[in-house]
């Protein structure tokens, strides 16, 4: 098994935050600049089915999102909080294969810098990390949907990994816990709407 000199670091911004990859030897909360996190990706294999796909998050470059999102209710947010995981080099190949399979529904790999705060100053805490992104040209990308319609869809969808709303709730809770300043208005607004549906219609 080949061991590379450069550490293999993966940035998780979705389910990887609350369900980390195996063989992690270090994890650091941090954020990306110039991206937004949106429920803009169909999920045929985890939080929905091929016939009734759910919705999961992807990263979108801020300038790309501005171009096709129309009336995005959170236009000023361009920082995405998540976790940078350093993988044990002995298991790099195994973890790459695991993540490639787990993120197979339309995701591709991008190399990014993860930012954070060190000694009271903003700094890159994980340079040249890898992350999985559902680019706008992938077949599972659905783009921007009205937030009330999106919340309704998430609330109703279920897949092999469980209810779509549970994915939303776990992710929102995990993001809140990352750091005192971590936030995501898109996630919080969807959570509020889905909790309201729970109260009005009963949890399913």
Is 141 exposed, middle or buried (CB count within 10 Å of its CB: 0-12, 13-18, 19+)? Answer: middle
103 classed as catalytic: yes
CB atoms inside a 10 Å sphere around CB 172 = 20
Under DSSP, the state recorded for 91 is: G
Q: Which of 40, 26, 46, 66 is nearest to 157 (CA)?
A: 46
Tokens matching residue 120: 């009271």
Residue 172 is inside which H or E element, if any?
Answer: helix 164-178
Lookup result for tokens 């803009």: 40
Active-site residue identified among 103, 110, 122, 152: 103
Distance CA 105, CA 99 (A): 11
Helix (H, G, I), strand (E, B) or coil at 136: coil
> Among all residues, which ones are annotated catalytic?
103
């Amino acid at each position: 098994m080949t061991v590379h000199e450069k550490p293999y670091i993966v940035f998780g911004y979705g389910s990887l935050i609350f369900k980390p990859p195996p063989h992690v030897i270090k994890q650091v909360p941090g954020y990306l600049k110039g991206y937004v996190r949106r429920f803009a990706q169909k999920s045929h294999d985890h939080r929905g089915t091929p016939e009734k796909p759910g919705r999961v998050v992807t990263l979108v470059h801020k300038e790309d999102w501005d171009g096709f999102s129309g009336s995005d209710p959170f236009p000023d947010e361009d920082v995405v909080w998540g976790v940078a995981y350093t993988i044990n080099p002995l298991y790099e190949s195994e973890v790459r294969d695991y993540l490639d399979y787990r993120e197979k529904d339309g995701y591709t790999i991008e190399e990014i810098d993860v930012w954070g705060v060190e000694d009271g100053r903003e700094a890159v805490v994980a340079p040249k990390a890898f992350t999985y992104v559902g680019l706008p040209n992938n077949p599972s990308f659905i783009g921007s949907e009205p937030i009330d319609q999106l919340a309704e869809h998430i609330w109703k969808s279920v897949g092999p990994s469980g209810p779509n709303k549970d994915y939303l709730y776990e992710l929102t809770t995990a993001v809140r816990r990352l750091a005192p300043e971590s936030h995501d208005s898109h996630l919080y607004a969807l959570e509020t709407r889905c909790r309201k549906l729970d109260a009005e219609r009963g949890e399913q």
